[in-house]
Amino acid sequence: MNGPARSRRLRAVALASALGPGLLLAAATAGAHAQGATEQQWSFAVSLDGSPIGEHRFRLGALEGGSRQLESSARFTVKVLGIAVYRYRHEAREQWRGNCLRRIATDTDDDGDRSTVRQEFPPDGPCTRSFAYWNPAILESRQLLDPQTGKLEPVQISREEDGSITVRGQPRAATRWRITGPRNPIDVWYAADTGEWVGLDSTVRGGRKLSYRLP
């Protein structure tokens, strides 16, 4: 491997490590605060240090029997001097019954490192939850499922100082909750008036800022 190619690869490794699979997937089960709608859709713009790197789309729909299904798709590309040094793709489908996860299926391509998760959770077992920001019940959780690995991660969740963030081009008052786990803390923003999940921020390795916003 020549010098420039090796340098680009080292930068890619550093960026992959900085973003972290758990953080990139922190919104993989995101949807809406409201539970009664038959179908809702969201498209979050994702940035790193203010530079766009992709989007994360979600669709939440109702199933027969009162269950809900969430489908999500993430597409990220990080570039250095116009050259793509890191790519991330993630597809997920989750089925929820009430506040508990019943089934999850995910496929991930983390810059060439592929992984698949297929899990089901019996109704008479413990209530499992993923990083589902649309569901306020997760704010009481002590562990959440990482949809890329299928593993439960211990977390601590705390209320932080409220603030204002830009939502669909307009400033909006928002409440802030912090999820602290094995990786970098994640700040999750909810609209103060409706409770809708409207943003996410985290400072990753190297002091870089990863953000989700509704454009």
Q: pLDDT-derived band of residue 172, with 50, 70 and 90 as boundaries?
A: very high
Average pLDDT estimate for 69-94: 95
- Give residue 103's pLDDT band: very low, low, confident or very high (50, 70, 90): very high
Tokens representing residue 132 in the block: 């589902």
Structure-token pair, residue 64: 């027969």
What pLDDT is attached to residue 92?
96
Q: For residue 58, tell me if it sits in a domain.
A: yes
In a domain, 186, yes or no: no
Percent of the chain, pLDDT > 70?
82
Cα–Cα distance measured from residue 44 to residue 167, given in angstroms and rounded to the nearest whole number: 10
Sign of CA dihedral 19, 50, 162, 35: negative
Tell me the mean pLDDT in the region 157-173: 96
For residue 2, what pLDDT is reported?
Answer: 54
Enclosing domain of residue 113: 3-156
Q: Can you read off the two tokens belonging to residue 125?
A: 């077992």
Domain assignment present for residue 149? The answer is: yes
Count of domains observed in the chain: 1
According to DSSP, residue 135 is labeled -
Q: Is 85 within 8 Å of 12 (Cβ atoms)?
A: yes
Alpha carbons 183 and 58: distance in angstroms, whole number: 24
Stated pTM of the model: 0.80
Q: Which residue has the higher pLDDT, 131 or 4?
A: 131
What integer pLDDT is reported at residue 207 of this predicted model?
84
Residues 6+ apart with CB under 8 A from 213: 44, 45, 47, 165, 166, 167, 198, 199
Examine the pLDDT at 28 and tell me if it is beyond 60: no
Indicate whether 51 belongs to any domain.
yes
Q: Percent of the chain having pLDDT more than 90?
A: 67
Note the pLDDT tens digit of each residue in 177-202: 999 988 889 999 999 999 999 999 99
Question: Which of the two residues, 134 and 19, has the higher pLDDT score?
Answer: 134
pLDDT at 166: 95
In degrees rounded to 5, what are phi and psi of residue 5? -65, -40
Any domain includes 71: yes
Top-confidence residue, 8 or 45: 45
**Residue 204 within any structural domain of the chain:** no
DSSP bridge pairs for 139: none
Q: What is the pLDDT of residue 61?
A: 92
**Is 33 domain-assigned?**
yes
Q: What is the pLDDT of residue 25?
A: 46
The answer to whether residue 190 sits within a structural domain is no
Q: Give the per-residue pLDDT at 16.
A: 47
Of 15-29, 90-104, 141-155, 183-197, the range with the lowest mean pLDDT is 15-29
What local confidence, expressed as pLDDT, does residue 19 receive? Answer: 53
